[in-house]
Amino acid sequence: MPDRALGVALIGTGFMGKCHALAWRTVSAVFGGAHPRLEILADVSEESAGRFAGQFGFARATADWQAAVTDPVVDVVSITAPNGLHRPMAEAALLAGKHVWLEKPMALTLEDAEAMAALAAAHPGQVTMLGYNYLRSPAFQAALAMVRRGEIGRLLAFRGVYDEDYSADPGLPWSWRMTHREGGLGALGDLGCHLVSQMLALMGPVRALTAQTQIAMPERPSPEGMKRVENEDSALALLTFASGAQGSFATSRVARGRKCRLQWELHGAEGTIVFDQENMNELLVHRAGEAGFVRHLTGPDQPDFAAFCPAPGHNFGFNEQKVIEARDLLAAIAGGPNVGPDFAKGLEIERIIHAMARSNGQRMVLMDEEG
Amino acid sequence: MPDRALGVALIGTGFMGKCHALAWRTVSAVFGGAHPRLEILADVSEESAGRFAGQFGFARATADWQAAVTDPVVDVVSITAPNGLHRPMAEAALLAGKHVWLEKPMALTLEDAEAMAALAAAHPGQVTMLGYNYLRSPAFQAALAMVRRGEIGRLLAFRGVYDEDYSADPGLPWSWRMTHREGGLGALGDLGCHLVSQMLALMGPVRALTAQTQIAMPERPSPEGMKRVENEDSALALLTFASGAQGSFATSRVARGRKCRLQWELHGAEGTIVFDQENMNELLVHRAGEAGFVRHLTGPDQPDFAAFCPAPGHNFGFNEQKVIEARDLLAAIAGGPNVGPDFAKGLEIERIIHAMARSNGQRMVLMDEEG
Amino acid sequence: MPDRALGVALIGTGFMGKCHALAWRTVSAVFGGAHPRLEILADVSEESAGRFAGQFGFARATADWQAAVTDPVVDVVSITAPNGLHRPMAEAALLAGKHVWLEKPMALTLEDAEAMAALAAAHPGQVTMLGYNYLRSPAFQAALAMVRRGEIGRLLAFRGVYDEDYSADPGLPWSWRMTHREGGLGALGDLGCHLVSQMLALMGPVRALTAQTQIAMPERPSPEGMKRVENEDSALALLTFASGAQGSFATSRVARGRKCRLQWELHGAEGTIVFDQENMNELLVHRAGEAGFVRHLTGPDQPDFAAFCPAPGHNFGFNEQKVIEARDLLAAIAGGPNVGPDFAKGLEIERIIHAMARSNGQRMVLMDEEG
Amino acid sequence: MPDRALGVALIGTGFMGKCHALAWRTVSAVFGGAHPRLEILADVSEESAGRFAGQFGFARATADWQAAVTDPVVDVVSITAPNGLHRPMAEAALLAGKHVWLEKPMALTLEDAEAMAALAAAHPGQVTMLGYNYLRSPAFQAALAMVRRGEIGRLLAFRGVYDEDYSADPGLPWSWRMTHREGGLGALGDLGCHLVSQMLALMGPVRALTAQTQIAMPERPSPEGMKRVENEDSALALLTFASGAQGSFATSRVARGRKCRLQWELHGAEGTIVFDQENMNELLVHRAGEAGFVRHLTGPDQPDFAAFCPAPGHNFGFNEQKVIEARDLLAAIAGGPNVGPDFAKGLEIERIIHAMARSNGQRMVLMDEEG
């Protein structure tokens, strides 16, 4: 953990903006180390920026994000603005010499993501981190540790889904988020990338994939009448991993009743692990010889849980994942290894979701030809 | 239900043989109608046939299945012998003028299944029925009724798996069941065909699919040393249905800890239904406007359940599915509609699993070119 | 299993009547042994008796139960008539020299039960068996075996409930079943006695108890206006077992949404077992040192399951419990031990539920003063 | 929310100390209002106090709690020290004119709790709040709101347990916590009081109860040999509420495999609600007419959830309950109603658990004679 207090700028005050703010406020109380200085909050208006700076405890407020990311008191920038702003904000921050904590997905297009990764590579002294918070949950970390210790043997298969229902209502109005130009990918960009981030951590690189996408509701109402939806409501894929293991993948934003069903199972030669983010405090694990699946509750035997609470079965929360992410970011800034995903690793995630978006079931895409 | 008592011959006394016997003994006590006459039991030896004829209550026993299927006292033949015998037995029974109740899968090869379907079509007065027992469960029937009543709206997606672990142990010896010539398909033939039977009932015809298969343990021990496994341990597929809906499909015989995980979910524009055969007495259903998923327990509001028990929450059993199947068979013989799957419908299932076996992820297979 | 075919008379054709009939038809096909002869079916009218005799496969029908229980072709009598008839029917059968299979509860009053147990004791050559079918389920038997093998160590506590909602609707009309004279006990007699039967098997004798009962809906509508309900809608109890272990007990017939929630957990010094009849095919088991609760699915490692099906995870059904009960009855008639509950053991169950009905929370009842 | 920044002193740095610190750091960032000033951290040694003051972000550190609670910069004192210190610390804080946030249970003895409640009553301008954090969870608040809106009708019954296994290992050494003089009550004081706090909120006052306690492991190893455990490992109770509803209650610290099983169900004339703190992000709710239990996931329709996260199904965490508790405390200090439990309400909880500890199954205790 860093000895020196880092100056923080936060851009954005919505869902993820507040989540970053809470993480910055608590990371050192939970894990130790110098408390970050909450220096500048940037938002769309002076009024809103001022109001949230007070609430979140930032010293100053601004409606000028460029000023925020270049201010000398700032060491690290949290970017939680809409996806279309990710590239300009991240590039400005990198060029200003700042470390960057950027929400997913990296960018609207693969080209943008490639440019960002290239710029990050050109600034090796600055840490980049993408907000794949589900990688931090104690249950996920426990699953990953089981896999790495070989507890379920050679990996045979991955089966993963990430479903929500935020677009399931056919009456949901059309929005710019449903266009390629302003919204980028659909379910793959919002949800699928999270599932890819966990899949890569668990299974290693993807060798090939075949996918198909679906726009379940091709038109949405708008004040000007029905308008066309351009990006996918759902996507399905088959995968072959470099290891020889195989996998299936599904994501949907129109799955009625699903709220945060980031669910997967791993089949190993010696066992199976099952996870569902809607019950993020448990893993179901079966190992050869056991009578059935064992329900593992999160608890202080998981190191990152222990920092929050010494008692098992006392549920860890979604927001607390972000505190662990902040800890990982600070550790990398302090000179430790960057567990990522940094922009290079984020680009690998982007390549996979964009390959899925292009595949459309007609052919297998070989990932090593995708770079 | 038939007024006239039908004479029954049963071939086989293993898992499914006993299951058929219990169904024949109880179908009329449960549903009414004339009790079938249990005439002839055929098994591999006179001794075993005689012993099981006594236990199951058949009048005679034989080691000569040809004699059994041609005996004039016999009206209907239950075939539960190994898959390689399905074609000759079914053909002999059809040629002898008998109705045929045949366990799945139809045959070892698609060519065999085509020949059998052609022969059945040439004997339209004789009923054929395949043993897709999971189609009969009250929970499945309730789900199907919900779909048909439009309770979850236009169907958008199917996500299905059927996993077991009977071959998961790498030390499991090599067997002729693992060869193409004697065993036919692997997980697709044992398990996948059941999932296809439910998928077709729920979703309608498949327009196209892309699949890939995996032999997780390519060699198995035998007294002569390690021998090669020829058929698949698992398979994954993407599907497009004639309706425009999409789907994912997975099956494995090497999924540690899974015992009868025939699990699927249906995404409709107005709701979602989830089923898992390991909990065959419940459906999880969400409809737009409800606060979450509702756990429906099976009960007497499901007509086929009511014939067994008037009390909800009093679990229906696996074997009882077969009693309903027998009832459906008898109803068709008595002149009612054959809800099937008959051999024609069974061939459609075979075409799909064989298309999956051939696809190997490289190209999409259009099903209307498969016939 | 008996070598000699026994002649059976069945009284009653409702829920339990059909359940007995199915058990008599299949017990020997499942477990081997001579098939019982289904001789006489008795019901309230000649018409109904005749109709069900045909459906269930009985040779003769009668509306005269006295004639049925004394007929020389009859060896064993299944009594599934209303509770108020249990005593006269069981006594007539015993006096006629027959074995008796009687549905629970034994009788309307403790005095009736005592008289019946005394008569059974005076006919030691005749087998009595009470229909506590939940004792037979493979999952319950597996739990009992774990306890007896000491897998969860010294037993510390029992926590049990049996809840249903069949009387939860306040608009449910008044019925004679709600009176002491014709209905006997309420929830304790219908449901609670089942829970007591499992509790005694698992925990051994009760030393003392304190209970309180509740009539949640003291009046019910009838054609003559609102009428008073006399027997309890629910009951709660604390127990001390002879072993020193303690327990809690609850039963209700007015628990909205509960269909067959016969649920309990056992706390042992070295582990915990949890069961719920609504999921009768699983046990949740935790043993010291394990990471959490293990979900045990029923399967052929449980001997009574194996006789029905060789495949794990293929659900056992409610009705099949009764087939095992029939097997146990036949084994006792053939001279083996009677695993019961016979009338003597049944009287112990009656004493406990009647003590609960009388206790009303004011004092602890010492069970050895109850005999 | 307060406009004026309040000065905070925190005593203790263990499980609950850290939990209070995190709550103080984030309460205003989550809910708005002036940020509290974290003034003094008191711990058992200067070293430890200094270290944690840095980590938690307090301005000063001390090993002298008396100095902390009387310091003029302090407005409110968080007391998380061992139970035996609750009375002197709370009294000192009240006498110094401070508001008091005290962890449960109030005190070691009922007499202490009575004295504390009397002193609080004599200082009506100072707010007292007890740390019954489970009262704050969004799922619990949602259940309470359903009850108050009458969604499940007249309440008939409460069934509650709170089980953990932290003392289940017979090899766990003897500790002063197991004595009456230094540890007070056992499972009732640690766990049972939480269940009582929820029960009273849901059901209203208790009219009478009968209870029995159990010391499952009467002796524990110590360096001086086996020593006697004085307080209960578990307790069971029957309750009658002032409303006429009835209830059962159980708590254990020796329930193998249970980690935070604060589980209860409410039976209403029109529905049932089920909750389990180990799955604190869901309620199971059944209402008359629905097909089964509905799984409600927590989400932003629950007001206190929305302040943390706008997305349903994104799990709320244990520690975040304490942030809501801090908000409630601050609102009361700012002049709003005190939703409590304050010391008066806390005394009602103490009376119930002490009545349970004394009852021992022999007689019913009338609670209005307990005051």
Partner residue facing A267 (CB), from B256, B272, B287:
B256
Does the pLDDT value for residue D4 go beyond 90?
no
Collect all residues of chain D within an 8 Å Cβ-Cβ radius of residue C293. 257
Q: How many whole angstroms separate alpha carbon B37 and alpha carbon D348?
A: 73
Does the pLDDT value for residue C304 go beyond 80?
yes
Predicted confidence (pLDDT) per residue in C281-294, tens digit: 999 999 999 999 99
- Tokens at C12, concatenated: 């009653």
Interface of B with A in 92-111 (CB under 8 A): none
Q: How many whole angstroms separate alpha carbon C338 and alpha carbon C332?
A: 5
Task: Sort strands C128-130 and C99-102 into parallel, antiparallel or unpaired.
Answer: parallel
Tell me: cis bond preceding A341? Omega within 30 of 0 counts. yes
Look at C257 and D292 and tell me if their CB atoms are within 8 Å: yes
Helices (H), chain C: 15-31, 46-56, 65-70, 86-95, 110-121, 138-148, 180-183, 187, 193-203, 303-306, 318-333, 343-359
- Summarize chain D as % helix, strand, coil (round to 5): 40, 25, 35
Contact C79, C100 (CB under 8 A): yes
Predicted confidence (pLDDT) per residue in C44-100, tens digit: 999 999 999 999 999 999 999 999 999 999 999 999 999 999 999 999 999 999 999
Task: Sort strands A365-366 and B128-130 into parallel, antiparallel or unpaired.
Answer: unpaired
Predicted confidence (pLDDT) per residue in C215-270, tens digit: 999 999 999 999 999 999 999 999 999 999 999 999 999 999 999 999 999 999 99
Rounded to an integer, the average pLDDT of D281-293 is 97
Mean pLDDT of chain B: 96
Q: What's the angle, vertex CA B188, arms to CA B185 and CA B194, rounded to 5?
A: 130
Give A283's strand partners. A275, A296
Predicted confidence (pLDDT) per residue in A246-294, tens digit: 999 999 999 999 999 999 999 999 999 999 999 999 999 999 999 999 9
Q: Of D253, D267, D266, which is closest to residue D213 (Cα–Cα)? A: D253
**Residue A125 contacts by C-beta under 8 Å, 6 or more apart in sequence?**
none
Rounded to an integer, the average pLDDT of C141-158 is 98
DSSP string across D29-55: HHH-SPPPEEEEEE-SSHHHHHHHHHH
Partner residue facing C295 (CB), from A293, A296, A297:
A293
Q: Which residue of D has its CA nearest to A55?
A: D29
Partner residue facing D317 (CB), from A19, A299, A317:
A317
Predicted pLDDT at D207: 94
Interface of D with B in 253-312 (CB under 8 A): 282, 285, 290-297
Predicted pLDDT at A360: 75
| Alpha-carbon distance C37 to nearest alpha carbon in chain D (angstroms) | 42
Q: Of B73, B114, B74, which is closest to residue B91 (Cα–Cα)? A: B114
Quick count: other Cβ atoms within 10 Å of Cβ B73? 13
* Neighbouring subunits of A (3+ Cβ pairs under 8 A): B, C, D
Collect all residues of chain A within an 8 Å Cβ-Cβ radius of residue B267. 252, 254-256
Q: Chain centroid to CA C141: how far?
A: 15
Collect all residues of chain C within an 8 Å Cβ-Cβ radius of residue D271. 256-257
Q: How would residue A370 be classed by pLDDT, with cut points 50, 70 and 90?
A: low
Q: How many whole angstroms separate alpha carbon B237 and alpha carbon B248?
A: 6
Q: Chain centroid to CA A352: how far?
A: 14
Q: How would residue A217 be classed by pLDDT, with cut points 50, 70 and 90?
A: very high
Q: What are phi and psi of B85, to 5 degrees?
A: -95, -5
Q: How would residue D371 be classed by pLDDT, with cut points 50, 70 and 90?
A: very low
Element housing D286 (H / E): strand D282-287
Contact A293, A272 (CB under 8 A): yes
- Tokens at C299, concatenated: 């399967």
- Tokens at C275, concatenated: 């069961």
Quick count: other Cβ atoms within 10 Å of Cβ C207? 16
Q: Of C284, C291, C289, which is closest to residue A283 (Cα–Cα)? A: C291
Q: Is C246 on the interface with D (CB under 8 A)?
A: yes
**Residue B130 contacts by C-beta under 8 Å, 6 or more apart in sequence?**
B102, B103, B104, B106, B340, B341, B342, B343, B345, B346, B349
Collect all residues of chain D within an 8 Å Cβ-Cβ radius of residue C210. 210, 212, 238, 361
Q: What are phi and psi of D214, to 5 degrees?
A: -145, 135
Tell me which residue has tokens 């998380």. Answer: D80
Partner residue facing A294 (CB), from C282, C292, C297:
C292
Interface of B with A in 197-236 (CB under 8 A): 208, 210-212, 214, 216-217, 234, 236
Element housing A345 (H / E): helix A343-359
Predicted pLDDT at A317: 98
Partner residue facing A246 (CB), from B152, B170, B212:
B212
Predicted pLDDT at A364: 67
Q: Is A314 on the interface with D (CB under 8 A)?
A: yes
Q: What's the angle, vertex CA D13, arms to CA D7 and CA D19, rounded to 5?
A: 75
Identity of residue C41: L
ipTM of the complex: 0.96
E-state strands within A277-351: 282-287, 292-297
Predicted pLDDT at B364: 67
- Tokens at C175, concatenated: 């019925």
Q: How many whole angstroms separate alpha carbon C277 and alpha carbon C315?
A: 12
Q: Of C117, C72, C71, C123, which is closest to residue C95 (Cα–Cα)? A: C123
Q: Is C37 on the interface with B (CB under 8 A)?
A: no
Q: How many whole angstroms separate alpha carbon C178 and alpha carbon C181?
A: 9
Predicted pLDDT at C306: 97
Residue ranges in chain B modelled with pLDDT below 70: 1-3, 362-364, 368-371
Contact C131, C206 (CB under 8 A): no
Q: Chain centroid to CA B180: how far?
A: 20
Q: Of C201, C194, C211, C285, which is closest to residue C248 (Cα–Cα)? A: C211
Collect all residues of chain C within an 8 Å Cβ-Cβ radius of residue D290. 257
Predicted confidence (pLDDT) per residue in D236-277, tens digit: 999 999 999 999 999 999 999 999 999 999 999 999 999 999
Q: Which residue of C has its CA nearest to D166?
A: C288
Mean pLDDT of chain A: 96
- Tokens at D357, concatenated: 């500890």
Partner residue facing B296 (CB), from D282, D292, D297:
D292
Q: Exposure of C196 by Cβ count < 10 A (0-12 exposed, 13-18 middle, 19+ buried)?
A: buried
Predicted pLDDT at C370: 54
Collect all residues of chain A within an 8 Å Cβ-Cβ radius of residue B234. 156-157, 246
Q: Which residue of A has its CA nearest to D316?
A: A317
Q: Of C254, B295, C253, which is closest to residue D285 (Cα–Cα)? A: B295
Return the residue in A253, A315, A323 with the most chain D beta carbons within 10 A, the one to mutate for interface testing. Answer: A315
Contact B320, B307 (CB under 8 A): no
Helices (H), chain B: 15-31, 46-56, 65-70, 86-95, 110-121, 138-148, 180-183, 187, 193-203, 303-306, 318-333, 343-359
Contact D185, D105 (CB under 8 A): yes
**What's chain B's Rg over C-alpha atoms?**
21
Q: How many whole angstroms separate alpha carbon D253 and alpha carbon D186?
A: 8
Q: Exposure of B48 by Cβ count < 10 A (0-12 exposed, 13-18 middle, 19+ buried)?
A: middle
**Residue A223 contacts by C-beta under 8 Å, 6 or more apart in sequence?**
none
Predicted confidence (pLDDT) per residue in A96-143, tens digit: 999 999 999 999 999 999 999 999 999 999 999 999 999 999 999 999
Q: Is D238 on the interface with C (CB under 8 A)?
A: yes
Look at B256 and A234 and tell me if their CB atoms are within 8 Å: no
Predicted confidence (pLDDT) per residue in D301-319, tens digit: 999 999 999 999 999 999 9
Element housing B208 (H / E): strand B206-214
- Grouping H, G, I as helix, E, B as strand and the rest as coil, residue B81 is coil
Q: How many whole angstroms separate alpha carbon C81 and alpha carbon C91?
A: 14
- Grouping H, G, I as helix, E, B as strand and the rest as coil, residue C282 is strand
Partner residue facing D297 (CB), from A25, A278, A297:
A278
Q: What's the angle, vertex CA B204, arms to CA B200 and CA B206, rounded to 5?
A: 80
Torsion of CA D188, D189, D190, D193, to 10 degrees: 70
> In residues, how long is chain A?
371
Q: How many whole angstroms separate alpha carbon A16 and alpha carbon A22?
A: 10
Q: Exposure of D335 by Cβ count < 10 A (0-12 exposed, 13-18 middle, 19+ buried)?
A: exposed
- Tokens at C133, concatenated: 């079918």
Look at B290 and D294 and tell me if their CB atoms are within 8 Å: yes
Does the pLDDT value for residue C361 go beyond 90?
no
Contact B213, B356 (CB under 8 A): yes
Q: Exposure of A297 by Cβ count < 10 A (0-12 exposed, 13-18 middle, 19+ buried)?
A: buried
